Homo-oligomer: A and B are copies of this chain.
């Protein structure tokens, strides 16, 4: 599928979804839309991903695309009206539109009627299925080994770690699948429930629905965790995923050097050992699981040598092998996980 990524004024540092899609999705990204960087190329700003031109808008594409994907999410998840001409142009050209906003394109009158006229789909990734319900407590019964990424905060690389482990296991010849729980993960995997948007009573149930759907088709499921068990705002989602997925193994993710909760700086992170204990102690009454490996995001550390030292210190603190999956690869800890 040929896709254009909308990332106006935000590429690449504030376009987490666009970067995730470039790095991990199977889409053929033929252009990035960013009016501030028009004329540049993706690799001028981001390495290690397929290159593509950056253009000012849909009218500047060389060839038509199958879909326009909104690759940025402003605080609050709203729709920025300056994107309207691009979305309109995409629909009129016969392209589907994929978005992970809290604002649903399929409920926008103009887009909905235009999409019907042109026979295209508006896929609001964050709109939960209407038939989700409470968990039955059966995720532990699936055949696959379930590996869940957990963390010390939001944005510690849980999705990245889960995708990297899936890819590393697949490279080894294992039958492994990635189970997404957030908007970017869903866009990458092309399926999944947006766990942070479901009714709170259905949090575990929505995760269970995915585990049950895939759990007998693969030998390993790598489930994307969310938030942190000590997060003042998001811990509910974290625990719903832990109990809803009933993992056999946990992988603890952390940003090197981080000491307080991002955006909630009055709250200090707990000791790393405390996270290990909390996740294991909470898993135990429902389905026992151990932290078998760690993933450290060392992107803020310049030299590979210093990053390697940070990973070793982290490994000692959590009592399990660790790596930075982006810098050193997930393969390094795979023996501990499989």
A285's partner among B137, B203, B230, B281 (CB-CB below 8 A) is B230
Closest-CB distance, A51 to chain B (whole angstroms): 35
Enumerate chain B residues within 8 angstroms of A239, measured Cβ to Cβ: 229, 235-236, 238-239
- Do A200 and B240 touch (CB < 8 A)? yes
Enumerate chain B residues within 8 angstroms of A200, measured Cβ to Cβ: 195-200, 202-203, 236-237, 240
Does A267 sit within 8 A of B, measured CB to CB?
A: yes
Q: Give bound CA distance, A2 to B270, whole Å.
A: 52
Known contacts A197-B200, A200-B200; is-contact A237 B234 (Cβ 8 Å): no
Task: Give chain A's interface residue range (CB within 8 Å of chain B).
Answer: 35 or more
Q: Return the chain B residue nearest A141 by Cβ.
A: B266
Convert A235-250 into 0s and 1s, putting 1 for each residue whose CB lies closer than 8 angstroms to a CB of B.
Answer: 1111110110010000
Does A74 sit within 8 A of B, measured CB to CB?
A: no
A137's partner among B195, B202, B236, B267 (CB-CB below 8 A) is B267
Enumerate chain B residues within 8 angstroms of A203, measured Cβ to Cβ: 200, 236-237
Q: Give bound CA distance, A274 to B135, whole Å.
A: 23
Enumerate chain B residues within 8 angstroms of A281, measured Cβ to Cβ: 274, 277-278, 281
Q: 21 A–B contact pairs at CB < 8 A? A: A196-B199, A197-B201, A198-B199, A199-B199, A200-B202, A201-B233, A203-B237, A204-B232, A204-B234, A204-B235, A229-B239, A229-B282, A232-B243, A232-B246, A232-B286, A235-B243, A238-B239, A267-B285, A268-B285, A274-B285, A278-B281
Q: Which residues of A are interface residues toward B (Cβ below 8 A)?
A: 134-137, 195-205, 229-240, 242-243, 246, 261, 264, 266-270, 274, 277-278, 281-282, 284-286
